[in-house]
């Protein structure tokens, strides 16, 4: 991607690694909402210094096989404490962290590194070794990256969901509480998912695996609602049937014993959804905001009515502790018989068709779209 809306295929030489880096042969790279925003020119990563540097090779939800591995990287990149090896099938962390700043030193999992860089958007492919994104045949892995072994029982199509599942895991863990105050998320809670796209669906998967008793998804696309319903959602609210926010709020209240939802999760990417989400909460409910990564001029909220009197808890969640990746991989392996994660992947494209893949990912009739290199062809 050379600029918003402009993509082309380019060829780079296969780079040499050093003792601190690695080379991975890609098995798949999923398209994220931020990729769509980057393509449409609206992306706001928000973290200090995190700006897109075109040209980039997009792709930060990455799965591959370690082809070459530096001696020190084997330990440094091993998130679970067991050295990595050539041939390991791994998920690659989207972020590269410095390890020394205040946040790396003081926050569990380094999620808010002040010198944070990320594959597929922040790191340009202009300079060698170029291969800094997943929509490619190979990726060059820099020091500060973590890699996570994929359990054998998981297929590639399940494993490629890891990064987005990890976002949901990190967010839920920030909300997780015993039900004493009924504050934050507690097992058996009701959960509303605003936006039944890939991020919304991953949050629904996670809510299910954490014991949610009722999961309600809201979207404008029937295709997505139908798939979400098949895979793990209990109730759906279509914008076609419930056009006004007040109607949707009323429907959520009906579905939650006249209380409102214990937890609402924003996965639409539309900042002006805030007010509607707050109104759907019961007193003391929690609002997780995960999707809003677009430039916004600001949205309206009534502090006294919607936050204070509601005793609301609002949690903005960008990024995740790196440990979330391996935890999510374990959970998917454990639940794969009763939850068909792989069905979330509805379309696949080759690297050369990445632009077409992006278009499809923005269409009404898709869920997760994955880019798969056809190596050796």
How near is the Cβ of 126 to a copy of itself at its closest, in Å?
25
Q: What is the CA radius of gyration of the chain?
A: 20
Report the distance separating Cα 13 and Cα 261, nearest Å: 53
Site for a copy of itself (CB under 8 A): which residue of 21, 164, 194, 323?
323
Q: Is 17 in the site for a copy of itself (CB under 8 A)?
A: no
Cα–Cα distances in angstroms (integers) from residue 158 to residues 162, 313, 330, in the given order: 8, 32, 12
Residues binding a copy of itself: what is the number (CB under 8 A)? 95
- Does residue 37 contact residue 293 with C-beta atoms inside 8 Å? yes
How near is the Cβ of 295 to a copy of itself at its closest, in Å?
7
Instruction: Give the footprint of a copy of itself on residues 294-313 (CB under 8 A).
Output: 294-305, 307-313
Cα–Cα distances in angstroms (integers) from residue 45 to residues 38, 139, 278, 317, in the given order: 10, 22, 24, 12
Report the distance separating Cα 121 and Cα 124, nearest Å: 7
How near is the Cβ of 1 to a copy of itself at its closest, in Å?
21
Q: Is 293 in the site for a copy of itself (CB under 8 A)?
A: yes
Instruction: Give the footprint of a copy of itself on residues 190-209 (CB under 8 A).
Output: 208-209
Report the distance separating Cα 271 and Cα 318, nearest Å: 14
Angle, CA of 365, 370 and 373, to the nearest 5°: 140
Q: Is 290 in the site for a copy of itself (CB under 8 A)?
A: yes
Site for a copy of itself (CB under 8 A): which residue of 1, 38, 61, 103?
103
Report the distance separating Cα 370 and Cα 361, nearest Å: 9
163-183 b/e (C-beta count within 10 Å ≥ 16 → b) = bbbbbbbbbbbbbeeeeeebb
How near is the Cβ of 9 to a copy of itself at its closest, in Å?
31
Instruction: Give the footprint of a copy of itself on residues 163-192 (CB under 8 A).
Output: 169, 172-174, 176-183, 186-188
Q: Is 129 in the site for a copy of itself (CB under 8 A)?
A: no
How near is the Cβ of 198 to a copy of itself at its closest, in Å?
17
Q: Is 259 in the site for a copy of itself (CB under 8 A)?
A: yes
Q: Is 108 in the site for a copy of itself (CB under 8 A)?
A: yes
Q: Is 337 in the site for a copy of itself (CB under 8 A)?
A: yes
How near is the Cβ of 317 to a copy of itself at its closest, in Å?
6
Instruction: Give the footprint of a copy of itself on residues 56-85 (CB under 8 A).
Output: 75-76, 78-82
Q: Is 349 in the site for a copy of itself (CB under 8 A)?
A: no
Q: Is 253 in the site for a copy of itself (CB under 8 A)?
A: no
How near is the Cβ of 274 to a copy of itself at its closest, in Å?
5
* Partners of residue 147 on adjacent β-strands: 78, 92
DSSP annotation of 244 reads S
> Which candidate, 343, 349, 351, places its Cα nearest to that of 369?
349
């Amino acid at each position: 991607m050379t600029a918003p809306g402009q993509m082309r295929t380019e060829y780079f030489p296969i780079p040499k690694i050093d003792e601190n880096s690695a080379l991975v042969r890609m098995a798949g790279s999923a398209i994220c909402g931020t990729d769509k925003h980057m393509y449409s020119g609206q992306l706001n990563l928000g973290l200090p210094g995190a700006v897109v540097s075109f040209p980039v090779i997009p792709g930060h939800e990455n799965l591959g096989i370690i082809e070459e591995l530096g001696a020190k990287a084997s330990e440094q990149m091993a998130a679970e404490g067991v050295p990595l090896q050539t041939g390991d099938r791994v998920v690659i962390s989207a972020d590269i962290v410095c390890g020394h700043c205040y946040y790396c030193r003081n926050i569990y999992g380094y999620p808010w590194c002040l010198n944070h860089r990320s594959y597929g958007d922040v790191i340009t492919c202009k300079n060698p070794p170029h291969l800094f994104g997943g929509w490619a045949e190979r990726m060059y892995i820099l020091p500060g990256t973590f890699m996570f072994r994929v359990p054998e029982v998981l297929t590639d199509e399940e494993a490629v969901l890891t990064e987005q599942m990890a976002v949901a895991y990190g967010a839920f863990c920030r909300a997780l509480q015993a039900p004493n105050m009924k504050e934050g998320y507690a097992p058996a809670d009701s959960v509303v998912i605003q936006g039944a796209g890939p991020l919304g669906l991953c949050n629904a998967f996670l809510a299910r695996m954490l014991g949610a008793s009722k999961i309600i998804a809201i979207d404008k696309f029937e295709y997505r609602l139908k798939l979400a319903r098949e895979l793990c959602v209990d109730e759906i609210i279509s914008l076609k049937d419930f056009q006004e926010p007040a109607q949707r709020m009323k429907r959520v209240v009906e579905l939650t014993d006249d209380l409102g939802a214990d937890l609402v999760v924003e996965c639409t990417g539309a900042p002006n959804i805030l007010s509607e989400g707050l109104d759907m909460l019961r007193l003391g409910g929690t609002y997780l905001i995960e999707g809003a990564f677009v430039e916004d001029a600001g949205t309206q909220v009534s502090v006294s009515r919607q936050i204070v009197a509601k005793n609301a808890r609002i949690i903005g969640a960008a990024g995740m502790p790196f440990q979330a990746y391996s935890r999510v991989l374990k959970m998917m392996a454990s639940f794969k018989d009763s939850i068909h994660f792989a069905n979330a992947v509805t379309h696949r494209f080759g690297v050369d068709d990445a632009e077409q893949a992006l278009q499809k990912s923005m269409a009404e009739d898709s869920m997760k779209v994955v880019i798969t290199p056809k190596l050796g062809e």
